[in-house]
Amino acid sequence: MPGSGPKTIAFLGATGGCGFSALRRAIEAGHNCIALCRSPAKLEAKLDEFFPERPTNLVIREGNAHHVAAVASCLLVPPPPPSPSISSSQRQSEKRLVDAVHFSVGGTVSFPSFSMDDPDVCKKAAKALLDALDTLRNDDGATGRPLLVVISTTGISTLGRDVPIPLVPFYHYALRVPHEDKRVVEKTLFACQERFVLVRPSLLNDSSRTDRPVRVHVEGPATGIERCEIGYFISRNEVGRWTFDNLLEKADEQIEYEGKAVGLTW
């Protein structure tokens, strides 16, 4: 049950808006967090805005989300502290995967070229994540099935239009490159055997508003569109809040959105 005890949650892409919003809430709720960052100093600077002292329930690891070994280093629950009742061999032999992974890896589109420095940034990170899970299970005997919360995007559904008609040309032309990358990620997740939820926000902004209800679109390959919600914008802060409250915080439950895509919009 949610709140039954601290969870261990890994964050890939935690310096970004959605990822950091979810990470901040997980830290505040007392969960044990492991964040993989290419530039730890960037994350530390953002943390200073919210935490006067460095949180003791956060471990920051420097590394690239495209490297399997770096990702794998974030996916195991740290062994318990030394105790007379637990032998050293027991502490090292019991390897358990984290309870959840928040995946918000992404890149920035350059205008006016509509290109990206790495057009495969998401698909490479998603492959590294799945390969890391396989490696830890097969080579190290790790147990557990973490919930993978993967930030995707609206505009790439194969089941129907999920963006307002006026935005269709913008999505089709300006966001073509990142959307191709996200499509591969979604296809990979739908074909895997892991627990996952795809989160598809509308166009993201940095609004600090928290008084607007978040509308949730739900669809799945087996069920089709279960609930249709279409909108223009949502804030990064609210996406992080929603994913924490409804997915990460409930990672030890059977979540109604598992194996599906949820669209978030105002």
Q: What is the CATH number of the domain that holds 112?
A: 3.40.50.720
Q: Which of 138-142, 181-185, 206-210 has the lowest mean pLDDT?
A: 206-210
pLDDT at residue 126 is higher than 90? yes
Q: Would you state the pLDDT for residue 113?
A: 74
Give tens-digit pLDDT for 25-73.
999 999 999 999 999 999 999 999 999 999 999 999 999 999 999 999 9
Overall average pLDDT of the 64-85 stretch: 89
The pLDDT > 70 percentage for the chain reads: 94
Residue 190 lies in a domain: yes
Overall average pLDDT of the 133-151 stretch: 98
Residue 140 lies in a domain: yes
Contact (Cβ atoms closer than 8 angstroms) between residue 157 and residue 227: no
Averaged pLDDT of the chain: 94
Residue 1 lies in a domain: no
Predicted model pTM:
0.93
Q: Is residue 1 very low, low, confident or very high in pLDDT (cuts 50, 70, 90)? A: very low
Q: Is residue 90 very low, low, confident or very high in pLDDT (cuts 50, 70, 90)? A: low
Residue 184 lies in a domain: yes
What domain range includes position 237?
8-265
| CA angle (233, 235, 239) in 5-degree steps | 110
Strands 147-151 and 195-201: parallel
Residue 3 lies in a domain: no
Q: Which of 77-86, 121-130, 208-217 has the lowest mean pLDDT?
A: 77-86
pLDDT at residue 192 is higher than 60? yes
Residue 209 lies in a domain: yes
* CA–CA distance, 38 with 70 (Å, rounded to integer): 10
Within the chain, strands assigned E span 8-12, 32-37, 58-62, 100-103, 147-151, 195-201, 203-205, 215-220, 224-227, 233-235, 261-265
